[in-house]
Structure 1
Amino acid sequence: MNTILYGLMMTGLDCNHHTLIEAAIIITDKNLKVLAESPNIIIHQSDKVLENMEEWSKKHHGISGLTENVRKSNISIEQADQMLYEFIKPFAPKGVCPLAGNSIHMDRTFIRKYMPKLESHLSYRLIDVSTLKELLKRWKPELANEVPIKSGKHRALDDIKESVQELQFYKSYLNL
């Protein structure tokens, strides 16, 4: 069974007040071998929406250049939804493959609200990489420094690649 690793950049963390600005997907097989990688899909938002971003988002998306790329993009949320839906279909039978990533429950909240086509194809199961990290900190704190270090780029595809590396670390550590 394949895994759908999903990365999302938003204007903030409240899906009732914030929206999507970038999304990407990596599909892996059960052993975390990358089968396919989508591009970063940058979603256009108006200046008004961008002005109302949370401060963290303003800072980091400004530094990464994402905010300016969002202004220049001509891709709507609906188009991004369709693109990602079409991307996963060859690799993921409807309702079968789990969705994975760091704090993936947060991304799933935004998918439910803004990407109904993609949502309709996903399994209800989630693999939250952040949970593994938190458990390791608590139960094996001496190994916490061995987890691959994140680059801090705060771009969707980069974040997913780091999630894959992190999962590979846990898989290796657990001898699975």
Structure 2
Amino acid sequence: MNKWLWLDLEMTGLDVDKEVIIEVAAIITDTDFNELGDYHSVVKQPQEYLDNMDEWNTKHHTESGLVEKIPEGKLPHKVEAEFCTLIDHHFREEPAIIAGNSITQDRIFIKKYFRELESRLHYRMLDVTGWKIIMKDKFGKEYGKRNSHRALDDIRESIEELKYYMKFINLDAPE
């Protein structure tokens, strides 16, 4: 069965050399978007990373309630181990194809901070952002996202967004 590993990370910023992962979430679906499993964790990080967040990240991660949860989060190595267990359960015989919005940025952070997880991922990715660009620029179709900036919510939005774009494709899936 074909499956996708939808994932989203929240970070203290976008510079992988200065910032860290503060939230991890994943949903595994089949190609009909049926959920087969999920994972979510807040990642404990030293206070200095939170103190050094830029204005945008400070505002959004505070308003979402994420900042207050970080001191009680799980240590990064524990999060990675749990995430790998989920992947091993659902993707036994093949690397996981990750899916989501702007997942190249997430992949950069995974490569630096979660090397064991990185080894379980396929080089191919299903980035909904590509669909967003084509559908908006060529066809004027735009999905209205809420952008909660919480990882699990963002994944669910990405899944709904791809389902929205798929409605415009008139193809029958092969039997």
Task: Tell whether the structures are fold-level matches, with TM greater than 0.5.
Answer: yes
1:24-75 per-residue CA deviation (whole Å, 9 max, x = no partner) reads 100000222111122x2001112111111122111100101100100222x1
Does the CA-based 8 Å contact 1:9-1:23 persist in structure 2? yes
Deviation at 1:94, TM superposition (A): 5.3
1:32 is matched by which residue type in structure 2? F
Aligned to 2:168: 173
1:87 is matched by which residue type in structure 2? L
Aligned to 2:124: 125
Report the aligned-residue RMSD: 1.3
Query: Per the alignment, do residues 5 and 27 of structure 1 end up closer, same or farther by CA in structure 2, a change over 3 Å counting?
Result: same
Aligned to 1:152: 147
* Matching of residues 20-59 of structure 1 within 5 Å: 20-38=21-39, 40-59=40-59
For structure 2, the residue ranges without an aligned partner over 5 or more in a row are: none
Measure the CA separation in 2 of the matches of 1:166 and 1:86.
28
Q: Secondary structure at the match of 2:8?
A: strand
2:170 is matched by which residue type in structure 1? N
Aligned to 1:140: 139
For structure 1, the residue ranges without an aligned partner over 5 or more in a row are: none
Deviation at 1:170, TM superposition (A): 1.7
Does the CA-based 8 Å contact 1:7-1:159 persist in structure 2? yes
Deviation at 1:136, TM superposition (A): 1.0
% identical equivalent positions: 38
What TM-score comes out, normalization by structure 2 length?
A: 0.92
Does the CA-based 8 Å contact 2:100-2:126 persist in structure 1? yes
Q: Secondary structure at the match of 1:173?
A: coil
Does the CA-based 8 Å contact 1:100-1:129 persist in structure 2? yes
Aligned to 1:104: 103
What TM-score comes out, normalization by structure 1 length?
A: 0.92
The structure with the largest strand share of the pair is: 2
